[in-house]
Amino acid sequence: MKLLRLRVQNFAAIREMEIAFGPGLNVLYGPNELGKSTLAEAIRLVLLLPYTSTHYEPYVPWTGADDPFVDLTFEMEEQRIWRVQKQFGRRGSARLQESRNGQDFEDVERARRVDARLREILRWGIPEPGGMGAGKGLPSSFLATALLSTQAHVADVLEGSLHGDPTPTGKDQIAEALQAVAQDPLFLALLRAV
């Protein structure tokens, strides 16, 4: 997954912020209380939390403004760009769009179907909302914890495993990635050298 753009409005202490991610590693830095962790939490919520959940409430704006809104654009494979938009709260909504060029987006899913489709796309071992094994609130799986862990829960990555995941998609995705690495010429040359 490659993050391309994040737009956040009325999310905790952030009134409005937009970030365009560049190629390679992106680092958010700055003094404490600037909102770096809040932006990371916005990414977690837009990817994992159904817009109808009440677990968004800690992120209601401190100013009493409109409900939290998060818009994330990401690429899963070349020329397959997705944009997910969620408005949490009383007038909540969700929309998932797809683009081949990153400019022209078409609606793919709306409302409750957004989260089901996101879980198909991400393949992180999280069941469809409301399905078997789906709990309430922010869903959890080994890959979701490893990829989107909060500062307070970094140790959870070391303590977790794929065995507790409600669906096999996370395990399947890791197996595919390891098979691809095993066929990489650079990796094979490294193995022969050792």
> How far is the CA of 129 from the CAs of 20, 154, 179, in angstroms?
29, 25, 30
In 3D, which of 48, 36, 29 has the Cα closest to residue 12?
Answer: 36
CA distance 98 to 185: 33
Domain 2-193, what fold? Rossmann fold (3.40.50)
Q: For residue range 88-136, what is the model confidence (pLDDT) as tens digits?
A: 988 899 999 999 988 899 999 999 899 999 988 988 777 777 655 555 6
Q: What is the pTM of this model?
A: 0.75
Mean pLDDT of the chain: 81
User: How many CB atoms are located within 10 Å of the residue 158 CB?
Assistant: 8
- How many angstroms separate the Cα of 45 from the Cα of each of 35, 72, 99, 139, 178? 15, 10, 22, 10, 28
β 93-99/106-110 pair status: antiparallel
Q: To which H or E segment does residue 180 belong?
A: helix 169-183
Map out the domains of the chain as residue ranges. Answer: 2-193
Task: Please tell me the predicted confidence (pLDDT) of residue 152.
Answer: 60
What HEC string does 1-46 produce?
Answer: CEEEEEEEEEECCEEEEEEECCCCCCCCCCCCCCCHHHHHHHHHHH
SS3 64: coil
| pLDDT of amino acid 70 | 97
